[in-house]
Chains A and B, each alone.
Chain A
Amino acid sequence: MLSNFIVPDLVPAAPELFVLAMACVILIVDLFVKSKERTLTFVLTQLTLVVSATITFYTVSYDKTYTFANMFVDDQLADLLKLLLDLTVIVVLFYARGYIAERVSMAKGEFYVLVLFATLGMMVMISANHLLVLYLGLEMMSLSIYAMVALNRDSTQATEAAMKYFVLGALASGLLLYGMSMVYGATGTLEITEIAQALAQGAVNKTILVFGLVFLVAGIAFKLGVVPFHMWIPDVYHGAPTPVTLLIASAPKLAAFAMVIRLLVNGLFFLSPDWQQMLMILAVLSMAIGNLAAIAQTNIKRMLAYSAISHMGFMLLGMVSGVVDGDARYAMNAYSSSMFYMVAYVITSVAGFGMILLLARAGFEADSLDDFKGLNKRSPWFASMMMVVMFSMAGIPFFVGFFAKFSVLLAVVAAGHIWLAIVAVLFSLIGAFYYLRVVKIMYFDAPIDNSPIPASLDTKLLLSANGLAVALLGLFPHALMYLCAVALISSL
């Protein structure tokens, strides 16, 4: 028996293995940590992420490397996304730390361990070359996040959000699994590269396959949070403790993007005419409902939740512009514009939620729009950072959000969908209103409370760097665009 066993090549999965091992170690170490602030746990978690990023960086695979019997793939797309993922989580933890330490019910080591397991799940999703591995990664991420949402167990709001997230998430997982089983039925394999080969050879039952595709798209749409699978987004963003919202709003978007690429582009590229149509409807609906509903919000977390829905819709526009009448000439540009949009959105949204954490202090959540009133009088510097974030999200130059929107629009027009581009810019116009309103609240209104900004120095520095990154990437977006394009090309 043993003679058949081949030790798999572990190098491509080294970052994942390291995070897994460290998550277990930290879980045990935390038992012996006495300090209320959990400094050691925090430091170890951050070190884990830094080392994981370093491993990823030094084992960048310039070719596609498969391991674990072709179930796991390491390519430049995976490496880039994992690096960004680690970086995002590191920043998220820095922002979250003060908030967590101030709240007794959350100041436990579990938060950090759960973050690491969620990160591990996302890394597995990014590198999955097999439907079941993808599913495992997805569930690992989701279950960790469900728990994190409910971490503040005395809060009815958080508990309700967690229940809602869990029930709807389970439903979405069911849909995804059902879709996967259909794909398996049609192609006889769960391996993504083999699915693509089976489709290329043409000997598949297309009816079953498209039927399965519908469920896969529904599952993806749920994870991205696009209409009509968006119901959980506002409630969860609103109900979850702000650091958890910050995490949900950033890192999983990168993993969900990887899922889109792995499933739809790597696996089901031959069905692109079918899934493009589906995604197109989802995109337009998301931009419409996201932007319109955001106007009515008074809670900034809810407003950013609806804004996230509209941004995901905009991002999908790039995905629907890849193939026109069987011509895949512009596919690379289109998908890399989507990826650039996603990365730009994550950078911007981390800064946006970071601002909410910055203003929060013990016993006070700064999650109402009114809490930002007169921020310019309290702290001109952070008001300007938030303004940069808002204008970037509205797609006004010189901020990175403009070039994100611009590159997607370029892809949409290249594909000849001019009407789609017009719809997209009109909804951006509507969206500009509520971003402008935040600027108005900060700059034109008088402050309600004049207390100084309580956050620690590292948070302030990091948040400043984050805001400046949004501005500087708007001046020099080229390098990031180039990275996205190179990574995507390598994944095909």
Chain B
Amino acid sequence: MSGNLLSLAIWIPIVAGLVVLSTGSDRNAPLARGLALFGAILGLVVTVPLYIGFDKTTSAMQFVELASWIPPFNINYHLGVDGISMLFVILNSFITVLVVLAGWQVIENRVAQYNAAFLIMSGLLNGIFCSLDGILFYVFFEASLIPLYLIIGMWGGPNRVYAAFKFFLYTLMGSLLFLLALIYLFFQSGGSFSILDWHQLPLALNTQIWLFLAFLIAFAVKVPMWPVHTWLPDAHVEAPTGGSVVLAAIGLKLGAYGLLRFSLPITPDASHELSGLIIALSLIAVIYIGFVALVQADMKKLVAYSSIAHMGFVTLGFFMFNALGIEGALVQMISHGFVSGAMFLCIGVLYDRMHSRQIADYGGVVNSMPKFAAFFMLFSMANAGLPATSGFVGEFMIILGAVKFNFWVAFAAATTMIVGAAYTLWMYKRVVFGAVANDHVAELTDINGREFLILAVLALCVLGMGLYPLPFTEVMHASVNDLLQHVAQSKLQ
């Protein structure tokens, strides 16, 4: 059983998705929902042993599975997790359960396909985090576009077709060049697609720079980094709530994870060489996109831009090459998974009732939805990085790391504390406080038991991680230190 936990984490949701799909038309919607929830919970349950059985003392890959897949090209079904990827597998499986719950009453149209798309996507995303073979990674990376494309296009808003195409083609553009980089590495390494082999592969600086740029195009689009971020606000605004949650909580982490798995260890010299570029782009994302978020009139767009700014923080943390920075970035990624997921769910709660995401249509929501207002308050504070919430831990660690690296970088990054607080709390104020804006707001009903459960679970995660982050950070130490040693060693000959 423990021998193929990762395979179970990948294939249980996918098989569950196919089963859900087979329930067919909306007449069987209750059955589809029940099966989907069962599949999602089962998928989460099998990831629990990953944490319990995880050996914190080693940086080696754990729960490894290795089987030959396509022998002529030496492509293997090679899975394994370390301290960097393990938490994302659990996070993803966890978010999937919430997403299935979040769509429970809201989605009434093609229920089986909706739930199946999320389950299949969940399995594919787990596959990305577990892959230790370059082509296996790529295959999961690319295949995960299909479900999200369908989710945005089938259950999205009025401009969904444009957003779905933009999302798909933008990401595909990045990943096709990434594929060529993988093929190039295959020949450089004498016929291996193993990511771990590539970590040891000596490469000339020139080659490293080209590879780094190919990786960067793929991952920068996915993160997304300024200036290739423009697909994200469109995708978020048009996607249904569940789609936005998965995209923000997991989708954006893929790019950052790719940087850690590919760019830093395979091309360490190029990473040092071009770190200035990445830091500059990250700071632009943090500061400029922060101001862009300030002026948004649409709540989802505001949170989308805030996600870009937060991810700017993550890429900043990676390229300062110290343990605080990288661990802070990882913590930030997980925290952002909770917080942005929760923010999109909160907006979804409002949207389900009012069918509007415009800040101007709201005001005084606290009068009719007090319980909701309390949760929304907590998540907004976490988004702004208030101490004792998970949002604070990562940002603080990254700023500490930045101070070690360069004071002015740290200073610029720290302005996010102000801008982030400004755009989040200002939105919160306009939506929740003040006089009741109109009759629709006055008639709002507070959250029901299902919504309460979802938000409460997330609130516990946000507070728990903010107050006691050790369970999250202690599993990372060994892997992050190993990564840092790796990056510090030149691969030039």
Q: Which residues of A contact B (CB under 8 A)?
A: 376, 380, 391, 396-398, 402-403, 406-407, 409-410, 413-414, 418, 421-422, 425-426, 428-429, 432-433, 436, 439-440, 443-444, 477-478, 481-482, 485
- B142 and A397 within 8 A (CB): yes
CA distance A482 to B71 in the complex (A): 9
From residue A64, how far is it (CB to closest CB) to chain B in Å? 23
The reply on B83 being an interface residue by CB < 8 A is no
- B143 and A410 within 8 A (CB): no
By Cβ-Cβ distance, the 9 closest A-B pairs, closest first, are: A397-B139, A425-B176, A444-B153, A413-B183, A478-B70, A397-B143, A397-B142, A421-B180, A429-B173
Q: Which residues of the other chain, A, contact B169 by a CB distance below 8 angstroms? A: 429, 432-433, 436
Q: Which residues of the other chain, A, contact B433 by a CB distance below 8 angstroms? A: none
How many A-B contacts are there with CB distance less than 8 Å? 84
CA distance A380 to B23 in the complex (A): 11
Q: Using a CB-CB cutoff of 8 Å, which residues 156-178 of chain B contact chain A?
A: 160-161, 164-165, 168-169, 172-173, 176-177
- B142 and A440 within 8 A (CB): no
**Contacts beyond the supplied A413-B187, A436-B168, A440-B164: 18 A-B pairs with Cβ under 8 Å:** A376-B110, A380-B24, A396-B145, A397-B143, A413-B183, A413-B184, A414-B187, A421-B183, A426-B176, A429-B173, A436-B149, A436-B169, A443-B150, A443-B154, A444-B154, A444-B164, A478-B69, A478-B71
Q: Which residues of the other chain, A, contact B173 by a CB distance below 8 angstroms? A: 429
CA distance A436 to B135 in the complex (A): 23
From residue A487, how far is it (CB to closest CB) to chain B in Å? 14
From residue B66, how far is it (CB to closest CB) to chain A in Å? 16
Q: Which residues of the other chain, A, contact B72 by a CB distance below 8 angstroms? A: 478, 481-482, 485
From residue A383, how far is it (CB to closest CB) to chain B in Å? 10
From residue B137, how far is it (CB to closest CB) to chain A in Å? 11
CA distance A168 to B139 in the complex (A): 42
- A429 and B180 within 8 A (CB): no
Mark interface residues in B71-97 (1 if CB within 8 Å of A CB, else 0): 111000000000000000000000000
Q: Which residues of the other chain, A, contact B73 by a CB distance below 8 angstroms? A: 407, 410
Q: Which residues of the other chain, A, contact B417 by a CB distance below 8 angstroms? A: none
Q: Which residues of the other chain, A, contact B176 by a CB distance below 8 angstroms? A: 425-426, 428-429
From residue B77, how far is it (CB to closest CB) to chain A in Å? 11
- A425 and B24 within 8 A (CB): no
CA distance A429 to B183 in the complex (A): 18
CA distance A409 to B186 in the complex (A): 12
- A413 and B70 within 8 A (CB): no
From residue A115, how far is it (CB to closest CB) to chain B in Å? 35
CA distance A436 to B143 in the complex (A): 14
- B165 and A440 within 8 A (CB): yes
- B70 and A477 within 8 A (CB): yes
- B183 and A425 within 8 A (CB): no
- B186 and A410 within 8 A (CB): yes
Task: Using A413-B180, A418-B180, A429-B169 as known contacts, say yes or no to A481 and B70 having CB atoms under 8 A apart.
Answer: yes
Nearest residue, chain A, Cβ from B139: A397
Q: Which residues of the other chain, A, contact B164 by a CB distance below 8 angstroms? A: 440, 444
- B154 and A409 within 8 A (CB): no
- B172 and A429 within 8 A (CB): yes
The reply on B146 being an interface residue by CB < 8 A is yes
Q: Which residues of the other chain, B, contact A439 by a CB distance below 8 angstroms? A: 149-150
The reply on B425 being an interface residue by CB < 8 A is no
Q: Which residues of the other chain, A, contact B139 by a CB distance below 8 angstroms? A: 397-398, 402
The reply on B179 being an interface residue by CB < 8 A is yes
From residue A388, how far is it (CB to closest CB) to chain B in Å? 10
From residue B306, how far is it (CB to closest CB) to chain A in Å? 28
The reply on B113 being an interface residue by CB < 8 A is yes
From residue B222, how far is it (CB to closest CB) to chain A in Å? 16
Q: List 15 A-B contacts (CB under 8 A).
A: A376-B113, A396-B143, A396-B146, A397-B143, A398-B143, A402-B139, A410-B73, A410-B183, A413-B183, A413-B186, A422-B180, A432-B169, A436-B168, A444-B154, A477-B70
CA distance A396 to B143 in the complex (A): 7
The reply on B138 being an interface residue by CB < 8 A is yes
CA distance A439 to B153 in the complex (A): 10
CA distance A403 to B179 in the complex (A): 12
- A444 and B161 within 8 A (CB): yes
Nearest residue, chain A, Cβ from B214: A422
Q: Which residues of the other chain, B, contact A425 by a CB distance below 8 angstroms? A: 176-177, 179-180
- A440 and B143 within 8 A (CB): no
- B153 and A440 within 8 A (CB): yes
From residue B154, how far is it (CB to closest CB) to chain A in Å? 6
Task: Using A397-B143, A410-B73, A425-B180 as known contacts, say yes or no to A436 and B138 having CB atoms under 8 A apart.
Answer: no
Q: Which residues of the other chain, B, contact A485 by a CB distance below 8 angstroms? A: 72
From residue B450, how far is it (CB to closest CB) to chain A in Å? 27
Nearest residue, chain A, Cβ from B177: A425
Q: Which residues of the other chain, A, contact B149 by a CB distance below 8 angstroms? A: 436, 439
CA distance A439 to B176 in the complex (A): 20
- B160 and A409 within 8 A (CB): no
Nearest residue, chain B, Cβ from A425: B176
- B161 and A440 within 8 A (CB): yes
Nearest residue, chain B, Cβ from A482: B72
- B168 and A432 within 8 A (CB): yes
CA distance A478 to B24 in the complex (A): 33
CA distance A477 to B110 in the complex (A): 32
From residue A375, how far is it (CB to closest CB) to chain B in Å? 13
CA distance A410 to B180 in the complex (A): 8
Question: Among A396, A402, A410, A482, which residue has the most Cβ atoms of chain B within 10 A?
Answer: A396
From residue A180, how far is it (CB to closest CB) to chain B in Å? 36
CA distance A443 to B110 in the complex (A): 11
Q: Which residues of the other chain, A, contact B177 by a CB distance below 8 angstroms? A: 422, 425
Question: Among A397, A444, A481, which residue has the most Cβ atoms of chain B within 10 A?
Answer: A397
Nearest residue, chain A, Cβ from B178: A425
CA distance A410 to B71 in the complex (A): 14
Mark interface residues in B125-153 (1 if CB within 8 Å of A CB, else 0): 00000000001001100110110011001
Q: Which residues of the other chain, B, contact A402 by a CB distance below 8 angstroms? A: 139, 142
Q: Which residues of the other chain, A, contact B135 by a CB distance below 8 angstroms? A: 406
Q: Which residues of the other chain, A, contact B71 by a CB distance below 8 angstroms? A: 478
Q: Which residues of the other chain, A, contact B154 by a CB distance below 8 angstroms? A: 376, 443-444
From residue A72, how far is it (CB to closest CB) to chain B in Å? 31
- B183 and A409 within 8 A (CB): yes
CA distance A398 to B146 in the complex (A): 10
- A391 and B146 within 8 A (CB): yes
Q: Which residues of the other chain, B, contact A440 by a CB distance below 8 angstroms? A: 153, 161, 164-165
Task: Using A380-B24, A444-B153 as known contacts, say yes or no to A409 and B168 having CB atoms under 8 A apart.
Answer: no
- A409 and B70 within 8 A (CB): no
Q: Which residues of the other chain, B, contact A409 by a CB distance below 8 angstroms? A: 179-180, 183
From residue B355, how far is it (CB to closest CB) to chain A in Å? 20
From residue B43, how far is it (CB to closest CB) to chain A in Å? 19
Q: Using a CB-CB cutoff of 8 Å, which residues 51-80 of chain B contact chain A?
A: 69-73
Q: Which residues of the other chain, B, contact A396 by a CB distance below 8 angstroms? A: 142-143, 145-146, 172
From residue B135, how far is it (CB to closest CB) to chain A in Å? 8
CA distance A360 to B173 in the complex (A): 35
Q: Which residues of the other chain, B, contact A376 by a CB distance below 8 angstroms? A: 110, 113, 154
Q: Which residues of the other chain, B, contact A482 by a CB distance below 8 angstroms? A: 72
Question: Among B135, B146, B186, which residue has the most Cβ atoms of chain A within 10 A?
Answer: B146
Q: Which residues of the other chain, A, contact B113 by a CB distance below 8 angstroms? A: 376, 380
CA distance A425 to B161 in the complex (A): 24
From residue A317, how far is it (CB to closest CB) to chain B in Å? 13
Nearest residue, chain B, Cβ from A437: B165
Q: Which residues of the other chain, B, contact A478 by a CB distance below 8 angstroms? A: 69-72
CA distance A432 to B176 in the complex (A): 11
From residue B13, how far is it (CB to closest CB) to chain A in Å? 15
Nearest residue, chain A, Cβ from B155: A444
Nearest residue, chain B, Cβ from A410: B183
Nearest residue, chain A, Cβ from B141: A397
Q: Which residues of the other chain, B, contact A421 by a CB distance below 8 angstroms? A: 180, 183
Q: Which residues of the other chain, A, contact B143 by a CB distance below 8 angstroms? A: 396-398
CA distance A410 to B185 in the complex (A): 11
Nearest residue, chain A, Cβ from B110: A376
CA distance A379 to B355 in the complex (A): 30
From residue A428, how far is it (CB to closest CB) to chain B in Å? 6
